[in-house]
């Protein structure tokens, strides 16, 4: 008869010291108590997993750096951008931002005066097996978990931290792979290969500390990519100093974070095992044009009342009017790098007129013609994305705002055409939303009505912008003295509610495997159970590349 194993209890206050030792503290107990204290010792080989969030997914604060200009509104260290966690915070943030006028918005979200804020909300969950915290809050904060929006990304950070480091379990001497790997095998679909027992053995050879990388999303993704490279090199160096074998990392990204990670990977491909992109706007997104030109949409087609109430509160935070959004985004290279880029399918911006003697509206303009960045630099056309009169309400640029807009557009163009191009790390997986229930802006159409159809494309193209109203509709003067009122009509296609499928599918043919998925909205990508299992599965596949 096999001996009954002695009972054990896991210690919860484990500390990983910088010299490589692992320490924990246990209370003394009577001799009669035969329960032994235990700690899990991770493998000596380490593959850090670094999560890179999307735009507006990183917390920002007023800089404390004396070498940077101070924020004109906030005190050093004061939160500048802190996406709300939960309903109460959402209502409070929406109320605060609704009171902020365009000059205040521009000054608060001034990229040059901001740093990544590491003091954001962290709610470290318990390990589902041991009922001990996954890691201490101090260690989570050191790993950057407080730099990112917890409601959007806390689940993926905690899930990967637990599951990747619990490949096998020992129950009364019987070793088997843990339940989340069994679920993964049975949940696979199409020709997605299961993670075999042999592959799991290799996964179990490594320790996977999970990190988050927040970045100043108002700056160019090129700058953020440089900082990500520094973070990767620092993380590898710290584990090497701790006497662990660590030479490369795995990157997991959301939305615009994919652009940051791709640009970074291009400079140090040998230090990256592989990359997993989720919901990345690989070719840009027309909704970015919509938000600069007309303000943030306060409702979405096909959504219920509660979802549209939440969308309205987000619009209060991000800015409902073009005055609000242009003041922040017009000179932000990071924001402009989300506009449809040179690889986006041509002709996504239209101008149409419906006349009384026509059965349907007629498209007179189909844009862009050639290089889209030429259109973004054009600040005189009535269909312009950026109205320079709205771009500097705080007077930061002292009458020279057009030059700064051109500089930001030039940086966006450089990032996509020179820095990034069509590069993907050789070991890349990606998934995107192709869901008819999550409609996304695929193109934009300015629409006006007139009594007569006597109008030419050239006359409309030369129209003069006269004025606009709060929802972004524009009064356009046409040669001859007539005035047309154009309203923007979004043309919706399947996607994830933000990124249209054509942009999400941009990595096609350039990555190891591209997955078209559904059942979630853009911001909730990594709160979706299936996407969590898919990400975990793909990490296991990347490890096999070593």
Predicted local distance difference test score (pLDDT) of residue 174: 41
Whether 47 contacts 206, CB under 8 Å: yes
Predicted local confidence at residue 13, as pLDDT:
56
The CA–CA distances, whole Å, from 534 to 166, 281, 505 equal 17, 19, 17
Q: What is the pLDDT of residue 182?
A: 57
- Per-residue pLDDT tens over the stretch 276-289: 999 999 999 999 99
pLDDT at 175: 41
User: Residue 427 pairs with which residues in a beta bridge?
Assistant: none
Reading the block at residue 190, the tokens are 């199409």
Joined tokens for residue 239: 């584990």
Q: What is the pLDDT at residue 166?
A: 85
Distances (CA, A) of 317 to 70, 95, 123, 299: 23, 8, 24, 14
pLDDT greater than 80 at residue 177:
no
- Predicted confidence at residue 437, as pLDDT, reads 95
Contact (Cβ atoms closer than 8 angstroms) between residue 504 and residue 279 = yes
CA distance 101 to 99: 6
Q: What's the pLDDT band for 348 if we cut at 50, 70, 90?
A: very high
Instruction: Indicate the pTM of the whole model.
Output: 0.93
User: The domain 47-344+421-433+493-546: what is its CATH number?
Assistant: 3.40.50
Does residue 176 surpass a pLDDT of 80? no
Measured CA to CA in angstroms, residue 415 lies from 220, 286, 373, 393, 402 at distances of: 8, 18, 12, 27, 20
Pick from 101, 67, 63, 102: nearest CA to 80: 63
pLDDT tens across 178-234, in order?
A: 566 655 544 434 456 678 888 889 999 999 999 999 999 999 999 999 999 999 999
List pLDDT tens digits, range 252-275: 999 999 999 999 999 999 999 999
Q: What DSSP letter does each residue of 194-247 carry, written as one string?
A: ---HHHHHHHTTEE--EEE----TTS-HHHHHHHHHHHHHHHHHHHHHTT-B--
Low-confidence winner among 118-122, 413-417, 450-454 (lowest mean pLDDT) = 450-454
pLDDT band with cut points at 50, 70 and 90 for residue 421: very high
Does the pLDDT of residue 26 top 70, yes or no? Answer: no
pLDDT computed for residue 192 by the predictor:
65
Average pLDDT in the chain: 91
Looking at residue 40, what is its pLDDT?
67
For 39-87, what is each residue's pLDDT tens digit?
A: 667 789 999 999 999 999 999 999 999 999 999 999 999 999 999 999 9
Contact 476, 465 (CB under 8 A): yes
């Amino acid at each position: 008869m096999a001996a009954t194993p002695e009972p054990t209890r896991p210690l919860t206050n484990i500390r990983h010291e910088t010299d490589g030792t692992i320490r924990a503290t246990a209370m003394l107990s009577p001799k009669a108590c035969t329960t032994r204290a235990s700690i899990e010792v991770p493998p000596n080989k380490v593959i850090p997993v670094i999560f890179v969030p999307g735009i507006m997914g990183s917390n920002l604060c007023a800089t404390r750096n004396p070498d940077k200009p101070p924020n004109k509104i906030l005190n050093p260290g004061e939160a500048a951008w802190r996406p709300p966690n939960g309903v109460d915070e959402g209502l409070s943030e929406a109320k605060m931002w609704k009171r902020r006028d365009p000059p205040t918005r521009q000054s608060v979200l001034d990229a040059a005066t901001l740093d990544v804020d590491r003091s954001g909300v962290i709610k470290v969950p318990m390990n589902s097996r041991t009922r001990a915290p996954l890691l201490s809050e101090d260690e989570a904060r050191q790993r950057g978990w407080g730099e990112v929006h917890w409601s959007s990304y806390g689940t993926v950070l905690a899930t990967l931290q637990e599951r990747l480091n619990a490949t096998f379990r020992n129950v009364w001497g019987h070793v088997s792979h843990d339940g989340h790997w069994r679920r993964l095998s049975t949940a696979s679909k199409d020709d997605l290969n299961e993670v075999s027992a042999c592959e799991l053995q290799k996964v179990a050879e490594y320790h996977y500390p999970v990190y988050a990388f927040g970045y100043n999303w108002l700056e160019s993704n090129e700058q953020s990519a440089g900082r990500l490279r520094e973070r990767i090199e620092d993380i590898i160096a710290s584990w090497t100093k701790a006497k662990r074998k660590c030479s490369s990392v795995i990157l997991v990204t959301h939305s615009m974070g994919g652009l940051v990670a791709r640009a970074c990977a291009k400079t140090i491909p040998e230090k990256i095992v592989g990359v997993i992109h989720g919901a990345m706007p690989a070719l840009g997104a027309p909704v970015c044009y919509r938000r600069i030109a007309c303000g943030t949409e306060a409702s979405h087609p096909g959504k219920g009342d509660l979802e549209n109430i939440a969308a309205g509160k987000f619009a209060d935070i991000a800015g409902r009017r073009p005055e609000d959004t242009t003041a922040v985004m017009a000179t932000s290279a990071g924001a402009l790098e989300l506009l449809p880029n040179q690889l986006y399918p041509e002709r996504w911006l239209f101008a149409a007129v419906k006349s009384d003697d026509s059965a349907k509206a007629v498209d007179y303009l189909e844009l862009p013609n050639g290089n889209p960045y030429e259109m973004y630099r054009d600040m005189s056309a009535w269909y312009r994305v950026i109205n320079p009169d709205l771009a500097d309400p705080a007077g930061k640029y002292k009458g020279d705002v057009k030059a700064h807009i051109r500089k930001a557009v030039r940086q966006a163009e450089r990032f996509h055409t020179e820095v990034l191009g069509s590069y993907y790390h050789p070991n890349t997986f990606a998934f995107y939303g192709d869901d008819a229930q999550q409609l996304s802006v695929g193109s934009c159409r300015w629409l006006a009505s007139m009594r007569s159809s006597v109008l030419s494309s050239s006359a409309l193209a030369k129209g003069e912008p006269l004025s606009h109203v709060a929802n972004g509709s524009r009064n356009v003067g046409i040669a001859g003295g007539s005035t047309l009122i154009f309203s923007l009509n979004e043309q919706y296609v399947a996607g994830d509610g933000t990124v249209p499928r054509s942009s999400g599918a941009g990595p096609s043919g350039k990555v190891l495997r591209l997955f078209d998925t559904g059942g979630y909205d853009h911001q909730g990508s990594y709160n979706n159970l299936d996407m969590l299992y898919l990400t975990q599965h793909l990490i296991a596949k990347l490890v096999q590349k070593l």
